[in-house]
Each structure stands twice: as structure tokens, then as C-alpha cells.
């Protein structure tokens, strides 16, 4: 399949904003479902999104085969281009390398260090665990271009072994946008280096995820784009400067608390497609929405009922954020299903793309706040 390559350039606005256009492609879940392989795959490789947020020493955990928003970056001199997920739920940048013989590397772009005059080997191996496997490789550094910004001496991983599920991903690799404290081998994340090298005017980036399958989504480095939201921005303090983690008070349907009773923690994560919570809570939510949940956690609803289905309200640090059925129900040729998936811990939720499509998200590394406003 051929991909649309987006050329990104520096855009002069009232603030110096740098845009990174994103392309929404089919997720590995969609690809597997189209081939009739999804249920068999889930049986063999249970979906375990919380592995992504488990810290074990120097390893940053990432896990999602639902990653779908892609951007094009380049690495090396002269530049070699790659499609990556911009992931606020992890902190490392890595791409496949020519040293990788895994099937997942054979249908993706591979970085060749010998063709880059600015490449430097690191002194450590890299091992990032996935819920369904792992990425293993080497640490290195090179020049990285993102949305018109050139970051020099950026630490990155180049893989030599990749998990089987990545065969089905459209992205070649991942660019993490969480904090250095959870980066594997304490590598300085790309955005941190943008700040250190004085490449952005503000220590914040923002994300707009369009529901359009092809156009409109973007990451803005160095500020916000007021055209992408309406009303006021609600600022929420982080409860942990590791992931972009905030306090969630409750989840309600028709005024009734159906999940997160008594409060819990939530992570705003662009690298997860669904809204993910503890199994009992998610099953209760889906039950209140009239959904039927399969043994693999997929919650189906009648497509004819979407307009009459209730809103779901997420109360974050005292502020209500409403997600309508038109946003949390997805429809394809196989039918309709909710965007609420189980697998979260009792205290930790993931507010993924289903949530972020409704709310423009601003990530401020200096103040350690997240800003949310209704997407325009």
C-alpha cells in the first residue's frame, strides 16, 4: 500500500508554531478484522494496554496494536523518512533498522546507519517490552527532522527484533512525547531536546485529532492553534510527571456513576485508540449503553441505536467532559462497537483517541498541566 507523504514546514503565526500533520490510517486491529483474523489473534495475544504504563527500572513500556495516527519524520544526513506514531504514552523514539530480520521489519522502512554522516552508535542495548512481544535493538544518536524542526544529536533506538503484531501496523516506529523519567535508558525525548536546543517558542505542544479519515490531524510544537478548538481551555494539573497523568473523579451515564467510583487516575494517551479502564468498570459502562461484550472484550451495539444512546461524562479534577455516542461508537462493514475497552487497572485509565478527538489537548511540560478544550 502506498502512503501519502506529508511535507512539513515551519509556519509563522502569532507564536512560532511548528506543525506536524498526521494521517489517520487503518489500525492493525482493522487490518486483522478485514482478514477475519482478529478474534484468533486476540485469543493468542490478549490485548493488555496497561503494560504500557508499567515501569520496571530503565524500561519504558509501550503496547498498542490500535495505533492509527501517523506522521512523517526523517532521520540522518541525508534524511531517511519514516512514518511514526506520536505517542504521549511513551518517551522513546525508535525505528526499524537494516539489521532487523523480523517479519515486522520486512514490510516497513528500515534505517541504514551507514548512509548517515551524522550517525553515532550508543553504548547500550535497548529493550522495550510490549504486551504481545518486544522491540529489541541498539541505542544511537543522529539528526532528526520533525515538522520542519531539525534536532541534532537526538538519542534514538534502531531495532533488530520486533514483535509479530507490528507486521500489521502502518507505522514504522514510535516517537514518544511523555517525560524523560520513563524513557528507556534515560534517553532525552525529542520534545525535550527541542526545548534544550531553543527550537520552540513555548515549552508545550498540542494535538488535534480529526475524525476525518485522511486530513486535518496534527501535532503543533511550541504552542496551540486556536482554529482547532472552541470555548475556554480547562487546565488540569498532572498528578505524575511521568506519563501525562491526571485525576479522574468519576464516569457517569444518565447522571449515574458507572465507573471510577470514588476517583481514579487517567492518562491522556495519543498512542491508544480506545478509552481503556478496569474490566468490571468497562463492562458496567457498556452494559448501561446497551452493548454486548464478547469474550475478547469487543462491545457491540446496534447501529440503528446510535442516535438514542446516552452521553458518557468523564469528570476530571472537578470538570465535566462529555463524549456523545456519535464519538464513542465506531462503525464499519462488520457492524458497530463502542470505543470502551477493558484491560485497565483498578486505579488507572487510558483516555485515548476516542476521547482526544472530542477535546483539543495541550501538553505543557513547564507547568506540568494538560489543557483541554472542545475540538472545533
Residues facing 74 on adjacent strands: 81, 145
Give the integer Cα–Cα distance in Å for 100 and 50.
27
For the chain, counts of helices (H) and of strands (E)? 7, 28
Q: Give the distance, in angstroms, between the CA of residue 31 and the centroid of all CA atoms in the same chain.
A: 18
The residue behind cell 527532522 is 145
**Three cell numbers at 92?**
522513546
Q: Which residues are catalytic?
A: 87, 269
Distance CA 318, CA 250 (A): 9
pLDDT of residue 1: 27
Judge whether 182 and 352 are in contact, CB under 8 Å.
Answer: no
pLDDT at 68: 61
279 three-class SS: helix
Which whole-number Å values give the CA distances from 172 to 9, 15, 95, in the listed order?
21, 31, 6
- Reading the block at residue 310, the C-alpha cell is 446516552
pLDDT (0 to 100) of residue 25:
61
Q: What is the predicted pLDDT for the residue at 43? A: 56
pLDDT digit string, tens, across residues 174-196: 999 999 999 989 999 999 999 99
Measured CA to CA in angstroms, residue 126 lies from 41, 156, 175, 186 at distances of 27, 9, 15, 11
Domains of the chain, start order = 10-208 (2.40.70.10), 225-375 (2.40.70.10)
Helix (H) or strand (E) holding 91: none
Instruction: State the Cα–Cα distance between residues 183 and 176, nearest whole angstrom.
Output: 9
Supply the pLDDT for residue 302. Answer: 94
DSSP code at position 310: P
DSSP per-residue string spanning 53-111: G--BTTBPP---S---EEEEEEETTTTEEEEEEEETT---EEEEBTT--SHHHHTS--B
Low-confidence ranges of the chain (pLDDT < 70): 1-16, 25-68, 130-133, 212-214, 344-345
**H runs (alpha helix) in the chain:** 28-34, 38-44, 103-106, 190-196, 279-288, 325-328, 353-356
Amino acid at each position: 500500500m502506498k502512503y501519502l507523504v506529508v511535507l512539513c514546514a515551519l509556519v509563522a503565526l502569532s507564536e512560532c508554531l511548528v506543525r506536524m500533520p498526521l494521517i489517520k490510517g487503518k489500525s492493525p486491529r482493522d487490518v486483522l478484522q478485514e482478514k477475519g483474523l482478529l478474534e484468533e489473534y486476540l485469543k493468542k495475544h490478549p490485548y493488555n494496554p496497561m503494560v504500557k504504563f508499567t515501569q520496571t527500572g530503565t524500561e519504558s513500556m509501550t503496547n498498542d496494536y490500535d495505533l492509527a495516527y501517523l506522521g512523517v519524520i526523517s532521520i540522518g544526513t541525508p534524511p531517511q523518512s519514516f512514518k511514526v506514531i506520536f505517542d504521549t504514552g511513551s518517551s522513546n523514539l525508535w525505528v526499524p533498522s537494516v539489521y532487523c530480520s523480523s517479519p515486522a521489519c520486512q514490510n516497513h522502512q528500515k534505517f541504514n546507519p551507514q548512509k548517515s554522516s551524522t550517525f553515532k552508535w550508543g553504548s547500550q542495548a535497548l529493550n522495550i517490552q510490549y504486551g504481545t512481544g518486544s522491540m529489541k535493538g541498539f541505542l544511537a544518536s543522529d539528526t532528526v527532522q520533525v515538522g520542519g524542526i531539525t534536532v541534532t544529536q537526538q538519542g534514538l533506538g534502531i531495532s533488530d527484533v520486533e514483535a509479530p503484531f507490528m507486521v500489521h501496523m502502518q507505522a514504522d516506529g514510535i516517537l514518544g512525547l511523555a517525560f524523560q523519567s520513563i524513557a528507556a535508558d534515560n534517553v532525552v525525548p525529542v520534545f525535550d531536546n527541542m526545548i534544550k536546543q531553543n527550537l520552540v517558542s513555548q515549552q508545550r505542544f498540542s494535538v488535534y485529532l480529526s475524525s476525518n479519515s485522511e486530513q486535518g490531524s496534527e501535532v503543533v510544537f511550541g504552542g496551540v492553534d486556536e482554529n482547532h478548538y472552541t470555548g475556554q481551555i480547562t487546565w488540569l494539573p498532572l498528578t505524575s510527571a511521568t506519563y501525562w497523568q491526571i485525576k479522574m473523579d468519576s464516569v457517569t451515564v444518565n447522571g449515574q456513576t458507572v465507573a471510577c467510583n470514588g476517583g481514579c487516575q487517567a492518562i491522556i494517551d495519543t498512542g491508544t485508540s480506545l478509552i481503556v479502564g478496569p474490566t468490571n468498570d468497562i463492562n458496567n459502562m457498556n452494559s448501561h449503553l446497551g452493548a454486548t461484550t464478547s469474550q475478547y472484550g469487543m462491545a457491540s451495539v446496534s447501529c440503528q441505536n446510535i442516535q438514542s444512546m446516552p452521553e458518557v461524562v468523564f469528570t476530571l479534577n472537578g470538570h465535566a467532559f462529555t463524549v456523545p455516542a456519535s464519538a464513542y461508537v465506531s462503525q464499519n462493514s462488520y457492524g458497530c462497537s463502542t470505543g470502551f475497552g477493558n484491560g485497565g487497572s483498578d486505579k488507572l485509565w487510558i483516555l485515548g483517541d476516542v476521547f482526544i478527538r472530542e477535546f483539543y489537548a495541550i501538553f505543557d511540560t513547564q507547568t506540568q498541566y494538560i489543557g483541554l478544550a472542545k475540538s472545533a
